């Protein structure tokens, strides 16, 4: 369901299908890719979301943007954390979410689904969700104090005093399902930023400065 374009960005056919959205997940060879007009945030690994009302540029601090403004791209930057793009083809609303372990532990993606319900009357069962390239469950080891935070969505994951492998995309997927999103309307890329150095930047692999933009817009 994910494919690579000639310019080196990744797309998900699930988000293409309704024909009223534009989107892309940035990659290493598309560092120049920057759709305009673009709204972004100063990302702080929180569960805060911000409504983009049409103004481009940096809209403040937070880790998710939601909007129903035609033509405005919502962008977030990642390198290992999970970039999540959400589209509501009924209410014509979109969201871009940055979910690292801190955001995922606070269920940021579920809070964004709720925010879209409140703000745009989006129904969770109408939403289409794509989880883009992120560090995979084999590559991502976390300590017991972090693992413990994910017990609600992965019962038994934390074992006393042990490091464990955490699949952040799987956690986010469970949170989406629990929020009422239909499983068949969620696509997980399966593309690992750490396993695929030719394609993606990875913070854990040592690309300290490299970040990839992921963005979505409702078509004007
Ligand atoms: Zn991996």
Q: How many CB atoms lie within 10 A of CB 219?
A: 11
Cut 0.85: pTM above it:
yes
Rounded distance from Cα 155 to ligand 1 centre (Å): 22
Q: Convert the pLDDT of each residue in 82-92 to its tens digit.
A: 999 999 999 99
Rounded distance from Cα 205 to ligand 1 centre (Å): 10
Say what the alpha-carbon torsion angle 111, 176, 186, 101 is, to the nearest 10 degrees.
80
Rounded distance from Cα 119 to ligand 1 centre (Å): 36
Rounded distance from Cα 168 to ligand 1 centre (Å): 12
pLDDT at 160: 73
pLDDT at 32: 86
Rounded distance from Cα 114 to ligand 1 centre (Å): 30
Rounded distance from Cα 202 to ligand 1 centre (Å): 10
Rounded distance from Cα 55 to ligand 1 centre (Å): 36
Q: Which runs of E-coded beta strand occur in 108-191? A: 128-131, 141-142, 164-165, 186-188
Q: Convert the pLDDT of each residue in 166-193 to its tens digit.
A: 999 999 999 999 999 999 999 999 999 9
Rounded distance from Cα 209 to ligand 1 centre (Å): 19
Which residue has 């481009």 as its token pair?
56
- 60: exposed, middle or buried (Cβ count in 10 Å: 0-12, 13-18, 19+): exposed
Rounded distance from Cα 191 to ligand 1 centre (Å): 8
Rounded distance from Cα 80 to ligand 1 centre (Å): 9
Across 193-201, average pLDDT: 94
Q: Convert the pLDDT of each residue in 5-58 to its tens digit.
A: 999 999 999 999 999 999 999 999 888 899 999 999 999 999 999 999 999 999
Rg (CA), the chain: 16
pLDDT at 161: 79
Rounded distance from Cα 219 to ligand 1 centre (Å): 33
Domains held by the chain: number: 1
Rounded distance from Cα 85 to ligand 1 centre (Å): 21
Q: Convert the pLDDT of each residue in 106-165 to its tens digit.
A: 999 999 999 999 999 999 999 999 999 999 999 999 999 999 999 999 999 988 778 999
CATH number of domain containing 177: 3.60.140.10
Rounded distance from Cα 199 to ligand 1 centre (Å): 12
| Spatial separation of the C-alpha atoms in residues 143 and 152, rounded to whole Å | 17
Rounded distance from Cα 139 to ligand 1 centre (Å): 4
Identify any residues that bridge with 87 across adjacent strands, giving them in sequence order: 94, 128
Q: What percent of the chain is predicted at pLDDT more than 90?
A: 91
Rounded distance from Cα 100 to ligand 1 centre (Å): 15
Domain span at residue 188? 2-218
β-bridge pairing 64-67 and 82-88: unpaired
- Which residues neighbour 48 within 8 Å (Cβ) at sequence distance 6 or greater? 61, 62, 63, 64
Rounded distance from Cα 170 to ligand 1 centre (Å): 13
pLDDT at 209: 77
């Amino acid at each position: 369901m994910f494919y690579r374009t000639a310019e080196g960005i990744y797309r998900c056919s699930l988000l293409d299908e309704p024909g009223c959205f534009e989107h892309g997940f940035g990659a290493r060879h598309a560092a120049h890719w920057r759709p305009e007009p673009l709204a972004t945030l100063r990302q702080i690994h929180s569960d805060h979301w911000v409504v983009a009302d049409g103004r481009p540029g940096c809209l403040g601090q937070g880790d998710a943007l939601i909007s129903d403004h035609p033509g405005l791209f919502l962008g977030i930057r990642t390198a290992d954390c999970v970039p999540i793009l959400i589209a509501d083809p009924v209410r014509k609303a979109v969201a871009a979410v940055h979910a690292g372990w801190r955001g995922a532990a606070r269920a940021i993606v579920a809070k964004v689904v709720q925010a879209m319900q409140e703000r745009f009357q989006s129904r969770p069962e109408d939403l289409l969700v794509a989880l883009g390239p992120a560090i995979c469950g084999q590559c991502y080891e976390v300590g017991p104090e972090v693992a413990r935070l994910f017990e609600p969505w992965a019962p038994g994951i934390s074992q006393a005093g042990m490091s464990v492998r955490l699949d952040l995309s799987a956690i986010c997927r469970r949170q989406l399902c629990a929020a009422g999103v239909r499983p068949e309307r969620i696509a997980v890329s399966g593309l690992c930023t750490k396993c695929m150095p030719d394609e993606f930047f990875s913070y854990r692999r040592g690309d300290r400065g490299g970040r990839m933009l992921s963005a979505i817009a409702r078509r004007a």
